[in-house]
Structure 1
Amino acid sequence: MQETILSLCPGDWADYELIDTGGFEKLERFGEFILSRPEPQAIWDKSMSDQEWKKLAHAHFAKEKNNPEKGQWEQLKRMPHNWNIAYSNSEGLSIKLNLAQTSFKHIGLFPEQAVNWDYLYKTIKKCPVPNPKVLNLFAYTGAASVAARAAGAEVTHLDSVKQVVTWSRHNMESSGLEGIRWMVDDAMKFIKREARRGNVYQGIVLDPPAYGRGPDGEKWVLEEQINEMLKVCAEILDKENHFLLLNMYSLSFSSLIAANLIKTTFPKIENAEHGELYLNDKFDKKLPLGIFFRFSSF
């Protein structure tokens, strides 16, 4: 298997900008609104002063002492609770995404994933199978699902949280699209059922969390279950015309781990690429935000 190792960063995006990073925080612009949020990877110093950050930010997420993922938003300037931004590329992809301040510091969008939306759109457009079937597991608010649908795929979007599936539907409708199949289910249970039924997909997208729960409390631990999940995915991935995109965000994982997982599960793959996703702030500091592995037969 020949493979290419890459570090990928989204290009120019009118509605998004990473302004500064450091001090375990990041300062970002989403449309016309600027937010400061915790970022465990940003262990270096900020390039701008705390006063400059506060002057720019519309809101700041103050985390709880014992749980960095939970906390509350401090409103520093007037801004709506919900708003939207647009994303487009030179290949013809154009989508609209709805954002909101949540109690878990997230706003419904991971900007570094834009390079994966580009990949999905371009790859699906090249697929020899008309309207290829694409399964998006751990699909969150569905930007990847919307990008795949925009490219003409028949998309099955699966997440264990009903509220984010509803959020995803809103993103689809805001983008002027329809027809995505929505599933609220445990990812492992679902793909095992699909394998038993003999269902096949031309494309599979996986973006699993480090830890999670299914709708009925099913436990998910990335390092314990991702190997088994990929084996089941191999059963339901079209043997002739296929692509797979794996994305993982874990402080302990490198893209070499993803490569080893793929090599031992899919011994004969083509057009393989793996590496890091990152965002570049205005001071040329590169913020690592996950690893990826992707391959395609076409």
Structure 2
Amino acid sequence: MNDQYELLDSGNGKKLERYGDIILDRPCAQAVWAPRNPGLWETATASFDRVGGLNWEGRSKVSKAWNVEIAGVVMKLSATDFGHIGVFPETRSLWQWIRSALREQAQTKGRELKFLNLFAYSGGATLAAAQAGAQCCHLDASKGMVEWARENAKLNGLQDAPIRWIVDDVIKFLRREVKRGNRYDGILLDPPSFGRGKKGELYKIEDQLMTTLDLVHEVLSEDPAFVLLTSHTPGFSPIVLGNLLRQYHQSGTFECGEMLLTGKPGVNELPNGNWACWINTFS
């Protein structure tokens, strides 16, 4: 599977990454060690920092937008004012897992599965699920991000795939889905530490996550495949995320771990968030 992403080095509070032909130097607070290859940082196409504001250096060298294949999904990238580029590559192994799990479970269950992606950003996981043949629902509170995800769908030849594109507040949407009787076999949610809904609704993970998970449990199908919970919020460790999921399921398999940015052998793995998953093994 083609993958044009690579972590080149990290250290001194920064990460050096390759996205296709573009090499970016950006902040990463958890990279508290010293870089292993200091000379490599001189090859950066552009760099970003937050010292005294939000600052790009060499941004003019980066195309307004460029396309990169990551874990079998083509993604449009762009250097935004806030230093983000339209993908979080630490989730790429989860995309691969979702694609594989949905294909396997569809064969086992003998039916097409429905996948729900909440706080879905630019759509990497949604498109991986669509590649597996699942019916998808992609939800994000940002209209701009949902449009970005739709562009990514076109890049992957999935513009006509069965994907519902929803701009909405997650809790309001889930409550309507409960009333409508819509159910899903696989659910991914990546709640932010702090966010705003479609109409400015405040989302704070410590206040709203339990309500969100209650509703997620209600929209699961009678014979679901999995629930995958991820987080970039400090303190929400793999064990914490796993314990949250264990409240809702008495059987099945629970797994958890760190999301990692990785490169070639010898490059320090860089933790960047955590995940936990409940897998229904009693279908």
Which residue of structure 2 lines up, in the alignment, with residue 8 of structure 1? none
- Does 1:35 find its partner at 2:24? yes
Q: Which amino acid aligns with 1:279?
A: L
> Which of the numbers 192, 200, 218 marks the counterpart of 1:235?
218
Contact 1:278 1:290 in 2 (8 A): yes
Stretch of structure 1 that moved more, 218-227 or 127-136: 127-136
Structure-1-length-normalised TM-score: 0.87
Structure-2-length-normalised TM-score: 0.91
- Report the count of equivalent residues: 275
Q: Whole-Å Cα distance in 1 between the matches of residues 61 and 120 of structure 2?
A: 31
Q: Which runs of 5+ in 1 are unaligned?
A: 1-11, 89-93
Alpha carbons of 1:95 and 1:281: their partners in 2 closer, same or farther (altered >3 Å)? closer
Contact 1:129 1:241 in 2 (8 A): no
Q: Whole-Å Cα distance in 2 between the matches of residues 96 and 242 of structure 1?
A: 26
RMSD: 1.8
Alignment partner of 2:61: what SS?
A: coil
Stretch of structure 1 that moved more, 246-255 or 160-169: 246-255
Question: Equivalences for 1:68-147 in 2 at 5 Å?
Answer: 71-75=54-58, 78-88=61-71, 94-127=72-105, 128-147=109-128
Q: Which amino acid aligns with 2:79?
A: Q
Q: Whole-Å Cα distance in 1 between the matches of residues 34 and 276 of structure 2?
A: 31
Q: Which has the higher contact order (CA 8 A, sep 6+)?
A: 1
Question: Equivalences for 1:259-270 in 2 at 5 Å?
Answer: 259-264=242-247, 266-270=248-252
Question: Equivalences for 1:1-298 in 2 at 5 Å?
Answer: 14-49=3-38, 52-53=40-41, 55-65=42-52, 71-75=54-58, 78-88=61-71, 94-127=72-105, 128-177=109-158, 178-179=160-161, 180-264=163-247, 266-281=248-263, 283-298=266-281
Q: Whole-Å Cα distance in 2 between the matches of residues 61 and 270 of structure 1?
A: 43
Contact 1:249 1:289 in 2 (8 A): yes
Q: Percent identity?
A: 38
Contact 2:9 2:267 in 1 (8 A): no
Q: Whole-Å Cα distance in 2 between the matches of residues 74 and 220 of structure 1?
A: 33
Deviations 1:243-286 (A, max 9, x none): 1111111122211111111111x132313211111123554322
Alpha carbons of 1:185 and 1:14: their partners in 2 closer, same or farther (altered >3 Å)? closer
Contact 1:58 1:77 in 2 (8 A): no
Deviations 1:192-213 (A, max 9, x none): 1111222211111101111100
Q: Whole-Å Cα distance in 2 between the matches of residues 280 and 134 of structure 1?
A: 27
Q: Whole-Å Cα distance in 2 between the matches of residues 233 and 27 of structure 1?
A: 36
Cα drift, residue 75 of structure 1: 0.9
